[in-house]
A and B are shown apart, each in its own frame.
Chain A
Amino acid sequence: MAYSDKVVDHYNNPRNVGSFAKDTPGVGTGLVGAPECGDVMKLQIKVNLETGIIEDAKFKTFGCGSAIASSSLATEWLKGKSVDEAAKIKNTDIVNELKLPPVKIHCSVLAEDAIKAALADYKTKQPAEPAATR
């Protein structure tokens, strides 16, 4: 089973590898997967607190080439999106873009989970909405 050109490209030239300090304001971190399953993704977003737009995204992945490519692609797509738009990224979009074979679909699922986990982490770190007046 050969890898698609796009998977090979992301593997050879991964976009946005790296980390943000977790406690930086506006940063949301998702850590999904498990070492014993052979896949762990850490995906981070950095949201502009004024505009609500994801300014930057970074990842680190332990996993096969398809897992690396899925998370690399996810960081590319996240940049420039609003938090709400980002939540709409689906694993099937990743499958189609990278032409992942059925045996690698779980890599795209993990990438979607990582996006959701990073968004959720970002949201929990924002100050709560002002409480309704009694």
Chain B
Amino acid sequence: MLPYFTQKYGHPASRNHPFGWEAEAAVDTARSQLAALIGARDPKEIVFTSGGTESINLALKGVAEMYREKGNHIVTTVIEQRAGLDVAKRLERQGSEVTYVPVQPDGLIDVEQIGKAITDKTVLVSVMFANNEIGTIQDIAAIGKLCKAKGILFHTDATQAVGKIPVNVEAMGIDLLSCTAHLMYGPKGIGALYVRRKGPRVRIAPIIDGGGHERGMRSGTLPVPLIVGLGKAAEIAREVMPEESVRLARLRDKLQDAVLSNVDEAFLNGNVERRLPHNLNISFAYVEGESVLMGLNKECALSSGSACTSSTLEPSYVIAALGASAELAHSSIRFSLHRFNTEEEVDWVGRRTIEVIKRLREMSPLYELAKEGVDLKSIQWKAE
């Protein structure tokens, strides 16, 4: 990646000199590397973008505009990441109709509910592959099959899944797929949208106009070094995934057991089986998430809710959507393990978490009331 910042500085759209050819070849390699990771038949189906947010914007807005004649209805879910929800809301303001399918208490979307939401005006179904907070993996193949049968395009926000678990656009009937490099150890500022070219040939209106790069779907000079980084990250992910996912799931399970067996009233969020191998999300009753993080983040980086929503003080809408009380939505912590974590580090996090929760509960008025046998719901809280 680094040489492409300096020595190999060619512009991939410069077709008349070797510097341009060199850059173009590097971009093509990256396209093939990512296509291989997601099982795309043709590298030309990869459109580079600035990241997951842009990919999701392009998929939803691009389809909504291109297929307006056919219909104006989109089906999505209540647990999409902010980008998915915010784009859907904007499209609603612009005249689209959007159905937000609810989620079951274990974080799974009922595929039948998707089927029921589809109308003769539906042009797109958009369901996230795996959730960014609770890691729950949806039955993407079943949704893909359903959409194929009804002739409706299917987009999945796979930013959390690509590079972590097997993703195959052909086998799963995916027509559009959003992903990003930084969630597979690549550079920030680069992502991609997979756009199916055959069976059906998906067409999308660009949201950025200009020189017609990326086959007219996304104009703008390609950031060659970042693309090279994305390609390499995809290649490595594909290589190490079988071993890495097993290793991280084992460490995650160990952390989960340590915490849940030592802390009472700690609740695991999301489906236990169908979940990203590196993800663990727990709500700790009677303590507030941010205060837990403060006790842990000197040594490690954990999050309450997601980075996408941390600029607000809102509780996790994902946890709330599972039907948990608002109080528990304030009390969820996401542990995300990564490729370079050692067993010692994970053990340390477990021990430290237990200490922090115990300390915070000692200073929690809610814990005190609960231990006195007071039903917290019976209290007339004076909300601001």
Which A residues form the contact surface with B (CB < 8 A)? 3, 8, 11, 14, 17, 19, 31-42, 59-65, 67-68, 103, 106, 109-110, 113
Contact = CB atoms under 8 A, between A and B. Distances in A.
Nearest to B383: A34
Contact of A40 (B295, B325, B326, B366): B366
B309 to A, nearest CB: 13
A65 B326 contact: no
A62 B286 contact: yes
A111 to B, nearest CB: 13
Interface in B357-380: 362-368, 376, 379
A36 B326 contact: yes
Nearest to B328: A35
A33 B381 contact: yes
A64 B384 contact: no
Contact of B327 (A3, A36, A103): A36
B324 to A, nearest CB: 11
A110 B384 CA distance: 8
A63 B364 CA distance: 8
Sorted from nearest, which 4 A-B pairs have the closest CB atoms?
A34-B381, A36-B326, A42-B365, A35-B327
A35 B368 CA distance: 13
Given A32-B382, A33-B383, A39 B288 contact: yes
Given A11-B291, A68-B291, A61 B383 contact: no
Given A62-B286, A64-B290, A37 B384 contact: yes
Contacts, number: 81
Contact of B364 (A11, A61, A65): A61
Given A38-B327, A64-B291, 12 more contacts: A3-B294, A34-B383, A35-B326, A35-B330, A38-B288, A38-B313, A38-B330, A42-B365, A60-B364, A60-B365, A62-B364, A106-B384
Given A60-B364, A62-B365, A36 B291 contact: no
Nearest to A68: B291
B42 to A, nearest CB: 45
Contacts of A40: 365-366, 381
Contacts of B294: 3, 8, 11, 64-65
B63 interface: no
B239 to A, nearest CB: 38
B363 A35 contact: no
A63 B366 CA distance: 10
